[in-house]
């Protein structure tokens, strides 16, 4: 599994890709390497919030992937505290990312290395736009100390 990492400018206007991280699921480390890398970026950029994509079904219901994302968001939240972490709907972001990469002239085989970054940019940009429109953080806040089930 891979995790796309994106960041915004200091004003929270434009999301840009950072990198693709390999998910570490069973390292035995207190903080998995991918989560440590996210925490490092959060500290380095003095991020005000972290958004984690929540993969819902098209119907809006949640399956196994959403439960994994909720658990991952909890792990990230503990690693970046006191910076808040919010879950945001990521339905269709990978499809949109593939379409954008294709439109930009990237061949299908070369998408894999950057599609997660492109999807992360879409997730972050959507959250930033929603945040500006609503005047509040987008998505569902993650409790770093508790259960992440809906």
| CA separation for the pair 93, 123 (Å, rounded) | 7
pLDDT at position 4 over 60: yes
* CATH architecture for the domain at 2-141: 2-Layer Sandwich (3.30)
| CA separation for the pair 121, 104 (Å, rounded) | 15
Q: Domain residues of the chain, as ranges? A: 2-141
pTM over 0.75: yes
User: Residue 82: is the preceding peptide bond cis (ω within 30°)?
Assistant: yes
Residue 8 bridge partners (DSSP): 15
- 8 Å CB contact between 49 and 16: no
Query: How many other C-beta atoms are found inside a 10 Å radius of the C-beta of residue 94?
Result: 18
pLDDT at position 110 over 70: no
- 8 Å CB contact between 90 and 55: yes
- pLDDT tens-digit readout, 12-58: 999 999 998 988 876 677 788 999 999 999 999 999 999 999 988 77
Residue 16 bridge partners (DSSP): 7
What is the reported pLDDT for 87?
95
What is the reported pLDDT for 111?
61
């Amino acid at each position: 599994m891979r995790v796309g990492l994106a960041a915004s400018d200091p004003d929270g206007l434009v999301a840009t890709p950072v990198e693709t991280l390999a998910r570490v699921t069973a390292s035995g480390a207190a903080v998995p390497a991918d989560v440590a890398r996210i925490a490092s970026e959060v500290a380095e950029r003095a991020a005000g919030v972290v958004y984690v994509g929540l993969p819902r079904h098209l119907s809006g219901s949640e399956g196994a992937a959403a439960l994994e994302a909720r658990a991952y968001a909890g792990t990230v939240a503990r690693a970046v505290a006191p910076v808040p972490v919010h879950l945001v709907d990521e339905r269709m972001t990978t499809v949109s990312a593939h379409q954008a990469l294709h439109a930009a002239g990237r061949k299908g085989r070369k998408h894999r290395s950057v599609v997660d970054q492109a999807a992360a940019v879409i997730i972050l940009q959507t959250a930033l736009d929603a945040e500006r429109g609503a005047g509040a953080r987008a998505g569902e806040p993650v409790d770093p100390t508790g259960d992440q089930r809906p």
